[in-house]
Structure 1
């Protein structure tokens, strides 16, 4: 396996790995270990080139620093990406090579599931590293973090509803849900059970058909999800989808979803505020997955610890939105300030 350090000012360690035998092409980016060893999932995506993969890894890694700090976890921020199509290129050998790559960081970074990666994939990687979490087996195994992420987003959504609509009543609200992967589908379950009406989109026709059948959801083409009449827009797919173009098209009062790095740039958060759309900061509301995984990393034995942490995400969301309104400031800037104070102290 060939390891190549990549230049990334402001990051502690960024390395590209290429393994000819397994076909692995992967980047691990560690943004910060100020609060503790870095932790963050692995994303498998068919990136067009190395530079695109690097940009995504860096954005996601920094996002994990903020997510872990916002959830009051003694963990730093890191992320990994694998340049491959999860539907056609994945193999046990590739994931095992990835495990060896993780192990080369000597505990500086712990990996887990993310987009395109399953529990079974991480268990293959774990055969060659002791720094993998989100497993089904082991003394502290926490399993698939997706249901926990979805629950945290749902509770945070209820908290954000008060700021957008005056009360935390989801029944009867229409939610435009973008992305029906592991987390998106679990989030849809919560919304449907609470009486929300679902408008969904995904590039996976089978997932859309499942949502239509299970939740009586209506569906639209992926790009049309920005144009539908709804109360809430819930991004649960890839990041950087809120930009100058898409924000102009939204017909909602609240944005709250599970996707990472939803804002394309800082101006996007301001644009949402200018349009009167409440934005629940993504790295605050979607912290449930890393909370679940952290029970393995930190060897937590308290069975109610995760529940308390998940409830705190909703409380933090409420505090940030309350302060943002009081200061007439964008919620994403208030959230960043909150995290930066945690890191500074």
Structure 2
């Protein structure tokens, strides 16, 4: 690309961002049958033509143990610095359908009020990019929207993660739609192009694990200085899986995230208590956490439990139970399981603690 073209693009960069961000990206995705996000809420989730005759944007399809309606699951990452992708680039439209949508939106933008000067020039540059093989920064131009290659690839565009609260991060994938041949990887400059690893992180974000219900003995009323036994049902140790996938013509990837129970951490709800073990973390031993209480063991030390040192004074102490799950993933092109940060889910159970009453004769 020559210097004159670079200068022209620089002058119109602000106007171009406005025009592209509010007109070009938003309109085609909505017109193609759904919101610009990765929820998978589409009447045609496989990415083929929908009832409008236009390719639906490739949405992430979730299955397995995931939250309903595309919501965030109940798993909290043990690594506070770990986050799922805020946005990504994914297959969007075939060449003919892209031309239909993009040319219409460019025309609408050119006729919109205020699209003169730099703004109008930026729209003109974009039109030349897709119609006249005009190179745009690191992206080669396309002659007539690559219509002669229809069926041989797709234009890719930015997709927002609707569960990302930070607007700037969510909308950061704002590069112009670019062409990718079927079976070929996206150009290397698009580091946020969707990958199996990113799908694994999205499956993690949407994963819904069973609640943590700890069995206690005594169940509701504990005694000062006597152990309260705690254990988990064997059913709580079932492996849980969530899968995220994108399947469109010429592009099919998927990843399955697996969660396996690892340990239970108890917080007694008061400083006047001792956890067993001392750090409050009860590991899995012989396929279970803790040991069910049996008659005659009241004065024995349980493998997992709490000893309260004072009464709750007619109220209750909130026992917080956090079950830690080991998380890993497998997916397209991945030979073996790859680790992800551990995940936790928490539950609170209230318990009354009473003094032991004795009678002196």
The alignment's TM-score, normalised by the length of structure 1, stands at 0.22
Higher strand share: 2
Higher helix share: 1
The alignment's TM-score, normalised by the length of structure 2, stands at 0.22
Q: Which has the higher contact order (CA 8 A, sep 6+)?
A: 2
